[in-house]
Amino acid sequence: MEKYTKLVRDKIPEILDKKGVMYEKKIASPEELKSWLVKKLKEEVAEFLEVENVEELADVLEVINALKKLPEFSDVEKAREEKAKERGAFDDGIILTGEK
């Protein structure tokens, strides 16, 4: 059986308990949480890029929502809004071709 260590959704231990699956559980410290969430974001983005479905995109958003709760990212929505106001969003699907 393959070993793993990964950040999981909050109800996963309960689901595994009901299935009788053995595991060890640890709670990430506040200092560890950011790095675990960034690692999880990379994992979820890779899964989304592979299958491009709504479930995987929902996983990406769930990790982003968790990151937004960290103090260093608490102003991300304000930054997003300011950037959209200044530079626009991606609503129009504009694609440019040029030289760097």
Instruction: Determine the residue type at 90.
Output: F
Instruction: Determine the residue type at 20.
Output: G
pTM of the model: 0.88
Provide the H-helix boundaries in the chain. Answer: 12-19, 30-51, 54-68, 76-87
Domain segments of the chain as ranges: 29-86
* pLDDT tens column, 17-60: 999 999 999 999 999 999 999 999 999 999 999 999 999 999 99
User: Does the pLDDT of residue 96 top 80, yes or no?
Assistant: yes
Give the tokens for residue 76: 């991300």
**What local confidence, expressed as pLDDT, does residue 23 receive?**
94
Q: Among candidates 81, 1, 68, 14, which has minimal Cα distance to 41?
A: 68
* pLDDT tens column, 49-95: 999 999 999 999 999 999 999 999 999 999 999 999 999 999 999 99
36 and 28 in contact (C-beta within 8 Å)? yes
